[in-house]
Structure 1
């Protein structure tokens, strides 16, 4: 039994949202009680005590769209690569990279990314993988990395016909094979989805094949109308916008993650709401790729369930929250915009989304919830209360404020020191593999 206490505590439990001096008691991999520190200290005197030292105790954060495979691109340059639009970014960078990834590089990308998540207090990750040079076994490779690092995760492989029908069907098989494994062996630490790249790289034939083979009804994880080319392709080939096409092909639903949705109209927003499809917003990626700003606040007002992800851009969900907050103020030219919607996306909706896939409640500190808990070193310079703690997070914290991370009842980082991983050795191996990957990618142009 572990007692984490002696700090301000944000529970995300509407019944008891905030404690000025709180504590949470963990037994095994679940929370048994959350409440006042002095009371719980007296009630559980035998518990191992982890001192928050006046910092902030919070539920672990959830990232609902990540790209582990992109990790080794950090710092890479490709001769002649000077993209002018999103299609050129995909073709000139990401599709080149994923065709060259080996399983060893995928493993190290996963370990390094999960390490970064632990450091930033992210305890659950929904990942969308691609490695068209090494398809078979790639999800199992990432799952092994997740288990080794101790991070809760939901995985899929992005099916695409960009390299032909045969590889697309290999990708479909990789998803289904992994889904069987996750169902039998993953417990509540490992889940699976069917990954789809995007409408413009998927024919009706492959979509019909996937749906017909999806006997167990696993959910879909797909990029939707991220770039304008996706919309133009759907209108030209099928005479309908992307969301309508996906609805007609039976892709939408309560366990589908529609990522981005930058270029959709009001009718498509209504379809997303009516089908209970989840939309994942990735503000840094949308800005960095210059694809536009999705009408997130309009979707929110319509009742679409919106989550927050990073699209591989970062593993710092607090940074992503800050970016989303200012992006929608800038886009709407309204300084009052997004104050409530963006924190709800990160702290409430991401937990609701995770609840559609994982059995144990996540993103909350209350009895019966998963023991996914973080502690930050933030000490407020102004009064912190149950009414203003989101403002303190927004303006006072970042992912690197996290000093302690517990996932599934195991302390993976304490006082900023990784407890289960040799960080120096892992990152040294990652650098060697990244250098090899870069040379391999550059060799395409020779």
Structure 2
């Protein structure tokens, strides 16, 4: 039994949202009690105690869309790569990278990405993977790293026609094999989904084949209308918009993650709402790729479940929150918008999305919830309480304020030291592999 206390506790529980000197009791993978530090230390005198030292105690953060495979591309420079649009970015960089990745690259990418997630207080990661140079076994490599580091994750493989029919079939098999393996995970730490790249890289024949192989009770994880080219392809090839095409192939639904949804119209939003499909906004990636702006305010107004991800751009969800806050203000020339919607995306909707897949509550500190807990080193110089804590997080915190991370009742980082791993050795090996990858990319 472990107590985490002596901190300002933001629970995200509407029945008890904030405790000034809060404490929680961890018994196995779950939280068994919540209250004041003095009361719980008296009640459980034999329990070990993790001291928050006056910092913030919060639920672990959730990233609903990440790309682990992109890790080794950080700061890479490609010869003669000067993209002028999104398709040129995909063809000239990301699709070249995924063809050159080895299983060792995949493994190291998982280590360094999950490590950054843990350091930034992210305890659950929904990842969308691609490594067409090494498809078979790739999700299992990532899965093993997640197990070793103790992080909760949902995995899928990006099925696409871009490397031919055989590669598409192999990608589907990798998804199916992992989905079936994840269904046997009694720890409730890993889930599998059917990953699709996007409408414009999948033919009707391929979508029909994927549907025929889809295991029961499995949702899709798919990029939707991210670039304008996706919309143009759907209109020119199929005489329908992207969301309409996905609807016709029965891809939408309450277990499906529709990523981006930038170039969608009112009718498509109606379809997302009618099917209870989840959407994920990735503001930094969208700005960096110059693809446009997800209509977050309209999606939220329609009560479509809208979460927040990073799309591989960062592993710091608080950084993504900051950009998500200013992007609609800038886009709409209105400083009064998005104050409520953005924290709802990160702190409530991401939890609601994760809770569709996992058996016990995530993103909340209450009795019976999974003990995914973080401590942030933050001493506010203005009053902090349950009413204004989101403002403190927005303007006062980044992911690197996190000092301690617990996942499923186990400490995986304490006092900024990730446990059970030689980080220096890992980073040195990762740098070596990155050099090899960069050389292959520039040949």
Q: Tell me the TM-score normalised to structure 1 length.
A: 0.98
Counterpart CA distance in 2 for 1:217 and 1:78 is 42
Structure 2 contact 6–54 (Cα < 8 Å) conserved: yes
Q: Report the Cα distance in structure 2 between the residues aligned to 1:223 and 1:157, rounded to whole angstroms.
A: 12
Secondary structure at 1:270 match in 2: helix
Deviation at 1:186, TM superposition (A): 5.8
What does residue 151 of structure 2 align with?
151
- Tell whether 2:187 aligns with 1:187: yes
Distance between the aligned counterparts of 1:303 and 1:274, measured in 2? 11
The offset of 1:419, in angstroms, is 1.6
The residue matched to 1:185 in structure 2 has which SS? coil
* Structure 1 residue 276 corresponds to structure 2 residue 276: yes
**Aligned-pair distance for 1:401?**
0.4
SS at match of 1:159: coil
Match of 1:62 in 2: 62
- Give unmatched runs, 5+ long, in structure 2: none
Give aligned pairs, total.
443
Match of 2:237 in 1: 237
CA-to-partner distance for each residue in 1:36-79, whole Å, 9 max, x for gaps? 11111111111101110000000000000000000000011110
Alignment RMSD, CA only?
0.7
Distance, in Å, in 2 between the alignment partners of 1:235 and 1:23 is: 55
Q: Which aligned pairs between 1:55-94 and structure 2 lie closer than 5 A?
A: 55-94=55-94
Which residue in the other structure is 1:172 paired with?
172
Secondary structure of 1:255's match? coil
User: 1:369-403 deviations in whole A, cap 9, x for unaligned?
Assistant: 11110000011100001100000000000000000
Deviation at 1:24, TM superposition (A): 0.9
Contact 2:223-2:258 at 8 Å conserved across structures = yes
Indicate the residue corresponding to 1:202 in structure 2.
Answer: 202
Unaligned runs of 5+ in 1: none
Q: Does structure 1 conserve the Cα–Cα contact (< 8 Å) formed by 2:406 and 2:412?
A: yes
**CA–CA distance in structure 2, aligned partners of residues 238 and 264 of structure 1:** 16
How far apart in 1 are the matches of 2:303 and 2:179?
30
- CA apart distance, 1:229: 0.2
Q: 1:241-266: CA deviations, max 9, x gaps?
A: 00000000100000000000111101
Q: What's the counterpart of residue 416 of structure 1?
A: 416
Structure 1 residues 22-421: aligned runs within 5 Å? 22-185=22-185, 187-421=187-421
8 Å Cα contact 2:62-2:124 kept in structure 1 = yes
Q: Which runs of 4+ in 1 moved over 6 A?
A: none
User: Within 1, Cα distance between the matches of 2:366 and 2:217?
Assistant: 31
1-structure distance, mates of 2:62, 2:171: 26
Q: Secondary structure at the match of 2:350?
A: helix
**CA distance in 2 between partners of 1:325 and 1:148 (Å):** 34
| Aligned equivalents of 2:35, 2:85: Cα separation in 1 | 51
Distance 2:356 2:204 in 1: 27
Aligned residues of 2:179 and 2:215 also touching (Cα < 8 A): no
